[in-house]
Amino acid sequence: MPPELLRLAMRQWTTGVTVVTSRVGDLIHGMTVNSFTSVSIEPPLITVTLANQARTYSLVVESGFFAVTILSAAQVEISDRFAGRTVLDDERFVGVPVFPLVTGCPLIAGGLAFLDCRVATAHPLGESTLFIGEVLAAQITPDGEPLVYHNRDYHRLRE
């Protein structure tokens, strides 16, 4: 299976956009992720997949915790920033308002929903790792529209 063919096929899958963050002491990092889903409501479990060479991956492995911010349609710049498109790696959080829930991992203000997680299990997948996270705390924003990604571009939902 050629990797490029899979990339082209997966571009046809419409997803929401999240930023996954982690913290070890004063060191924080985050990255834009669309490989995210709910696995179980009871127990409360979600999954994220992170590239093994990513700094966020290293912090998740070391700390055992991560947080997920589900981005709103107004957060295209945040998505691009945490994807490494607009700022240097060490500048991702500069000027970005964040807050913690229970683990201390930063969540990005203005998102639609926030999940604070403990790593329940990790499954290596070659160049990436699938993390199953137990949701320890969640918070939602009552109003807002999701940031939607399809075929390498952002879109808005229409009624």
CA distance 84 to 102: 27
In a domain, 5, yes or no: no
What is the distance between the alpha carbons of residues 131 and 10, in angstroms, rounded to a whole number?
20
For residue 2, is it within any domain?
no
pLDDT at residue 68 tops 90: yes
Q: Residue 119: name the closest of 137, 108, 135 by CA.
A: 135
How confident is the model over 50-54, as a mean pLDDT?
96
Name the pairing type of β-strands 65-70 and 113-124: antiparallel
Query: Is there a domain that residue 59 lies in?
Result: yes
Concatenated DSSP letters for 44-86? TEEEEEEETTSHHHHHHHHHSEEEEEEPBGGGHHHHHHHTTSS
Helix (H, G, I), strand (E, B) or coil at 128: strand
Taking the C-alpha atoms of residue 65 and residue 143, their distance in angstroms, rounded to an integer, is: 27
Residue 158 pLDDT > 80: no
Residue whose tokens read 């990255």: 31
Q: How many domains does the chain have?
A: 1
Residue 10 lies in a domain: no
Element (H, E) at 6: helix 3-10
Asked if the model's pLDDT at residue 86 lies above 70, the reply is yes
Residue 57 belongs to domain spanning: 16-155
The band of 159, judged by pLDDT with boundaries at 50, 70 and 90, is low
Among 19, 38, 4, which Cα is nearest to 78's?
A: 19
Tens-digit pLDDT profile for residues 122-155: 999 999 999 999 999 999 998 899 999 999 899 8
In a domain, 85, yes or no: yes
Is position 45 within any domain? yes
Give the per-residue pLDDT at 36. 95
DSSP helix/strand/coil, 3: helix
Confidence of residue 92 (pLDDT cuts 50, 70, 90): very high
In a domain, 89, yes or no: yes
pLDDT tier at 115, thresholds 50, 70, 90: very high
Question: Comparing 158 with 7, which gets the higher pLDDT?
Answer: 7
State the CATH number of the domain containing residue 126.
2.30.110.10
